[in-house]
């Protein structure tokens, strides 16, 4: 018998052994007996496997489990621990290569960090209740049963689970039988298809469901705790439509008999694509008309579309190793837009793609410390920092560029071909390129490898005259100090332009595009290329005129303004150029463009923290938002467009920041009149709360806290957290920091609270103090939760912009290293560096510029 301590894991950057090269499992017979009260489980696993070569030591994965009575092909085996969660089953005599089986009894604990097998807490009426759920991606299956926990070790699973007899039990496949004995029940599930361990899942407890069927008869059920099940109607509808859509899009039937989706009260990420048993955070699945804002509803549709895309892309065909994670996540992050755009054409999802994924990707990729899309991963512990904007959003952006380059038909043919030849198997990035090449006849690998194997992306400088465009490319690095050290790089860039349908493939550092009538050209039509464009001042002025007179399309307007701010942040130009350009947007009426403008201004406010900038910005914001505030008002118009409803909170928030008196008064009136959040329209709550906070104190804090305590809506809690963390009074900041560790804040919400406290400039220093004092607590709670822990270094980095803070930040993380956080910390230091340089360069200029501006409307 051996006890494997989770803290004994030694992490090194050296290549770990891939167990599947030695032992290939084919089937797991797995029985787990859950003891919810004692937060413990016991089980037995019987695994059939193929031994690749003769040995007396069989390596398997197990972590934090107590192992007993191990046998290999009927013979007793000793267990011998090694590093990287490997345990050897050691038998006396040599085993021949070929078919064998091992059988092990095991015991484990159910603990709060939301990985492996963990409890979810909720209220059933006034009673406390608990569900149990699993989260195995990326490598947490080994915390629940001994297995070969690698994506390439695909096998079938026969799972049985013993629970209390009243509990609902859900897993990947339909229930085959359920036998009640006394107070207990053993549920046996049908055998799964061949699949990876990270996709196995089960959930049990007091759950209810709604059901609908797809066109091809697949049963889709949406599960939630009893009070919430009525809020799953929307996600159920989206799920059914997405499955129909993907069956057609991928040209392959949904591979299982049923699809369950479960909203869990505690969840680390947003959602997880377990095959046929998809789990979600409640805020990513529940839509409650009384509490969900329109952007919250959109989020639900996008998450559902994303996870269901994985049922094919990821689950049916799985990456060989984590190096190709980007392909899973980048692809799903792209195709979710395809699906939701199809389901809700008036949501303009592809316009939103640019403000969301494309810009998020460029933000991270503009650092010298970014990484290539295809990134080497040795130890799975290293993968904690690659679930990031590069794998997801840059991955999605380069796939979008490829889709445009190949055209829809060839792309879809190639994709279906890839899925067909690799189904129930594993694949690498190159396999997708080969399938696309076969169907399109184009050299996809050559085109794509430059984008996926190199770090960063280019800035294209364009000198435009009527009959030619002189082009130059270099890597866009936001930090001018780092830029000096950078080596020369080029990318194959398909250059589109608004003045022609022709395209120019720009491959070298310099080139000349001979063309016609280019005087008013805006390059990168619809921002399909992954690059930033820099124009001369004269040409930018021409484009600004075109924006003002409405001659440029939505995504191009969006691209012009976002490129201008990126160029300013990186010192390719001055922030004043971007602000000047912004003035031509006075008639802008598109929500996504406004979202971008508001985002750029908010980054500027976060970095330029002087009172001067803040004060002088107010009349500017007032004037900027005025026309749209007048147009939209507070009340939705009859048959208002989706985009107008989305835009209202953005422009009202801007007006409120600008102290537009009418808006401030109305927001406060609404806040004071509300007895519960539901008295305020969901779309307007963030403006109402934000305004009340800026103009309030203890009374407002207490009211918001009582709202927080009484609401059961997970989305609403996030909005309220943002408000509660934004007060300027020291005693209220202290209170919100205290709340973080209290049982009023769920673990899954902690990162929001920490981020929001940092984003409050009055709370910044106190939050940093809190952060340092509580780092051990953070690591204890989230150290094993890949997505969450890697995001913590980012929060202070987003708001620090001085040499002193950079030093403190670097010293703190130097003293408090944890494996896998090296890259996020380096990125944090670099962010502080460029923000400091930007502030030093432009802060005073911005303050003076804004001051000199008249405010004709105040």
Binding residues vs ligand BES (CB under 6 A): 137-138, 269-273, 302-303, 306-307, 310, 329, 332-333, 387, 392, 786-787
CA diameter of the chain: 90
Q: What is the nearest approach in angstroms of ligand BES to the Cβ of residue 357?
A: 9
Say how many CA atoms lie within 13 Å of 397 toward its Cβ. Answer: 31
What is the token pair recorded at 259?
A: 């699809």
What is the token pair recorded at 845?
A: 């200029």
Nearer to Zn ion, 138 or 713 (CB): 138
- Rounded Cα distance between 805 and 828, Å, is 11
Q: What is the nearest approach in angstroms of Zn ion to the Cβ of residue 569?
A: 29
Distances (CA, A) of 462 to 265, 331, 535, 751, 828: 51, 31, 5, 42, 32
Give kind and range of the element (H or E) at residue 833: helix 822-852
Q: What is the nearest approach in angstroms of Zn ion to the Cβ of residue 280?
A: 12
- Where b means 16+ CB within 10 Å and e means fewer, 262-281 reads bbbbbbbbbbbbbbbbbbbb
- Name the binder of 589 from Zn ion, ligand BES, none, CB < 5-8 A by kind: none
Q: What is the nearest approach in angstroms of Zn ion to the Cβ of residue 309?
A: 8
Q: Is 820 left (phi over 0), alpha (psi -120 to 50) or beta?
A: left
Nearer to Zn ion, 303 or 667 (CB): 303
Say how many CA atoms lie within 13 Å of 314 toward its Cβ. Answer: 27
Q: What is the nearest approach in angstroms of Zn ion to the Cβ of residue 332?
A: 4
- Name the binder of 302 from ligand BES, Zn ion, none, CB < 5-8 A by kind: ligand BES
Give kind and range of the element (H or E) at residue 48: strand 40-51
Q: Which residue is nearest to Zn ion (CB)?
A: 332
- Rounded Cα distance between 25 and 423, Å, is 18
- Please report the DSSP string for 625-653 in residue order: HHHHHHHH-SSPPTT--HHHHHHHHHHHH
- Name the binder of 577 from Zn ion, ligand BES, none, CB < 5-8 A by kind: none
Pairing between strand 425-427 and 317-319?
Answer: parallel
Residues 6+ apart with CB under 8 A from 198: 136, 137, 138, 139, 140, 141, 149, 151
Nearest alpha-carbon partner for 817 in 767, 783, 786: 783
Nearest alpha-carbon partner for 214 in 311, 346, 133, 333: 311
Q: What is the nearest approach in angstroms of Zn ion to the Cβ of residue 274?
A: 11
Nearer to Zn ion, 326 or 418 (CB): 326
- Name the binder of 786 from Zn ion, ligand BES, none, CB < 5-8 A by kind: ligand BES
* Cα dihedral sign, 736-741-747-750: positive
Instruction: For residue 463, indicate whether it is catalytic.
Output: no
Nearer to ligand BES, 333 or 722 (CB): 333
Using alpha carbons only, give the angle 84, 86, 91 rounded to the nearest 5 degrees: 155
Q: What is the nearest approach in angstroms of Zn ion to the Cβ of residue 404?
A: 22
Nearer to Zn ion, 307 or 843 (CB): 307
Residues 6+ apart with CB under 8 A from 110: 34, 36, 39, 40, 41, 117, 118, 119, 132
Nearest alpha-carbon partner for 763 in 790, 724, 794: 724
Nearer to ligand BES, 84 or 310 (CB): 310
- Rounded Cα distance between 384 and 830, Å, is 20
Q: What is the nearest approach in angstroms of ligand BES to the Cβ of residue 278?
A: 9
Pairing between strand 2-3 and 66-72?
Answer: antiparallel
Is the separation of the CB atoms in 68 and 105 below 8 Å? yes
**Contact residues: Zn ion, CB under 5 A:** 329, 332
Name the active-site residue from 143, 150, 282, 307. Answer: 307
What is the token pair recorded at 777?
A: 């607590």
Nearer to ligand BES, 235 or 575 (CB): 235
- Rounded Cα distance between 437 and 419, Å, is 14
Residues 6+ apart with CB under 8 A from 765: none
- Rounded Cα distance between 356 and 292, Å, is 20
Q: What is the nearest approach in angstroms of ligand BES to the Cβ of residue 115?
A: 8
Count of other CB atoms within 10 angstroms of residue 574: 17
Nearer to ligand BES, 306 or 371 (CB): 306
Nearer to Zn ion, 304 or 493 (CB): 304
Q: What is the nearest approach in angstroms of ligand BES to the Cβ of residue 719?
A: 18
Show the DSSP H helices in 774-821 as ranges.
775-782, 786-789, 794-799, 803-815
In the three-class reduction of DSSP (H, G, I as helix; E, B as strand; rest coil), residue 496 is classed as: strand
Q: What is the nearest approach in angstroms of ligand BES to the Cβ of residue 283?
A: 11
- Angle separating helix axes 554-569 and 537-548, nearest 10 degrees: 140
Nearer to ligand BES, 120 or 521 (CB): 120
Nearer to ligand BES, 285 or 558 (CB): 285
State the catalytic residues. Answer: 307
């Amino acid at each position: 018998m051996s006890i494997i301590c989770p803290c004994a894991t030694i992490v090194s950057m050296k290549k770990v052994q891939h167990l599947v090269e030695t032992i290939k499992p084919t089937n797991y017979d797995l029985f787990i007996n859950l003891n919810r009260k004692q937060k413990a489980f016991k089980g037995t696993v019987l695994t059939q496997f193929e031994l690749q070569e003769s040995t007396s030591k069989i390596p398997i994965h197990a972590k934090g489990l107590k192992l007993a009575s191990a046998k290999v092909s009927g013979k007793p085996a000793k267990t011998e621990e090694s590093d990287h969660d490997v345990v050897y089953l050691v038998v006396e005599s040599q085993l021949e290569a070929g078919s064998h089986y091992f059988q092990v009894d095991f015991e484990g604990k159910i603990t709060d960090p939301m990985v492996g097998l963990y409890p979810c807490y909720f209220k059933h009426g006034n009673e406390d209740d608990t569900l149990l759920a699993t989260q195995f991606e990326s490598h947490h299956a080994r915390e629940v049963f001994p297995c070969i926990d690698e994506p390439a070790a695909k096998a079938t699973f026969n799972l049985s689970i013993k629970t209390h007899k009243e509990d609902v039990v859900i897993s990947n496949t339909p229930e085959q039988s359920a036998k009640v004995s006394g107070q207990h029940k053993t549920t046996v599930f049908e055998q799964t298809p061949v699949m990876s361990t990270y996709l196995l899942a089960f959930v049990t407890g007091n759950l209810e469901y709604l059901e609908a069927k797809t066109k091809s008869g697949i049963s889709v059920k949406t599960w939630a705790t009893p009070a919430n099940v009525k809020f799953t109607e929307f996600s159920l509808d989206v799920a059914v439509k997405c499955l129909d859509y993907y069956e057609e899009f991928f040209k392959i039937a949904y591979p299982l008999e049923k699809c369950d989706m479960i909203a869990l009260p505690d969840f680390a990420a947003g959602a997880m694509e377990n095959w046929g048993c998809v789990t979600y955070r409640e805020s990513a699945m529940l839509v409650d008309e009384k509490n969900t804002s329109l952007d919250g509803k959109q989020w639900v549709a996008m998450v559902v579309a994303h996870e269901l895309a994985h049922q094919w892309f990821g689950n049916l065909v799985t990456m060989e190793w984590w190096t190709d994670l980007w392909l899973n996540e980048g692809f799903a992050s792209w195709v979710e837009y395809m699906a939701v755009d199809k389901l809700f054409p008036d949501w303009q999802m592809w316009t939103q793609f640019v403000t969301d994924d494309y810009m998020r990707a460029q933000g991270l990729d503009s650092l010298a410390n970014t990484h290539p899309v295809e990134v080497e991963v040795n130890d799975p512990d290293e993968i904690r920092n690659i679930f990031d904007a590069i794998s997801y959003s840059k991955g999605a952006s380069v796939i979008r560029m490829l889709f445009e380059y190949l055209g829809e038909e060839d792309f879809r043919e190639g994709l279906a071909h890839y899925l067909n030849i690799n189904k129930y198997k594993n694949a690498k990035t190159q396999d997708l390129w080969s399938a696309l090449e076969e169907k399109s006849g184009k050299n996809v690998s050559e085109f794509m490898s430059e984008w996926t194997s190199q770090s960063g992306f280019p800035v294209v400088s364009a000198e435009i005259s009527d009959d030619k465009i002189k082009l130059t490319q270099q890597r866009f690095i936001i930090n001018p100090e780092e830029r000096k050290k950078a080596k020369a790089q080029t990318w194959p860039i398909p250059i589109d332009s608004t003045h022609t349908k022709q395209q120019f493939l720009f491959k070298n550092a310099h080139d000349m595009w001979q063309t016609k009538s280019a005087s008013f050209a805006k390059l990168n039509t619809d921002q399909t290329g992954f690059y930033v464009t820099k124009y001369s001042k004269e040409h930018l002025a021409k484009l600004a005129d075109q924006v003002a007179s409405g001659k440029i399309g939505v995504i191009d307007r969006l691209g012009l303004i976002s490129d201008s701010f990126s160029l300013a942040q990186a010192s390719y130009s001055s922030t004043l150029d971007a602000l000047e350009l912004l003035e031509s947007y006075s008639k802008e009426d598109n929500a996504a463009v406004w979202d971008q403008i508001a985002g750029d201004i908010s980054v500027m406010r976060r970095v330029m923290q002087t009172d001067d900038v803040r004060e002088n910005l107010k009349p500017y914001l007032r004037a900027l938002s005025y026309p749209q505030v007048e147009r939209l008002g507070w009340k939705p118009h009859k048959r208002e467009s989706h985009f107008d409803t989305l835009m209202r909170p953005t422009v009202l928030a801007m007006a409120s920041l600008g102290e537009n008196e009418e808006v401030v008064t109305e927001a406060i009136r609404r806040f004071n009149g509300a007895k519960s959040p539901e008295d305020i329209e969901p779309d307007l709550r963030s403006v109402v709360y934000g305004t009340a906070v800026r103009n309030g104190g203890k009374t407002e804090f207490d009211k918001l806290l009582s709202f927080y305590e009484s609401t059961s809506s997970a989305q609403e809690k996030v909005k309220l957290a943002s408000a509660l963390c934004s007060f300027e009074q020291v005693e209220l900041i202290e209170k919100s920091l205290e709340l973080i560790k209290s049982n009023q804040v769920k673990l899954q919400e902690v990162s929001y609270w920490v981020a929001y406290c940092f984003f409050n400039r009055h709370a910044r220093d106190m939050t940093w103090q809190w952060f340092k004092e509580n780092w051990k607590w953070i690591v204890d709670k989230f150290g094993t939760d890949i997505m969450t822990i890697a995001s913590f270094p980012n929060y202070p980095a987003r708001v620090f912009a001085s040499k002193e803070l950079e030093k403190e930040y670097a010293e703190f993380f130097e003293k408090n290293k944890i494996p896998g956080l090296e890259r996020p910390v380096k990125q944090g230091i670099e962010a502080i560096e460029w923000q400091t340089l930007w502030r030093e360069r432009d802060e005073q200029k911005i303050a003076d510029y804004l001051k000199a501006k008249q405010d004709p409307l105040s």
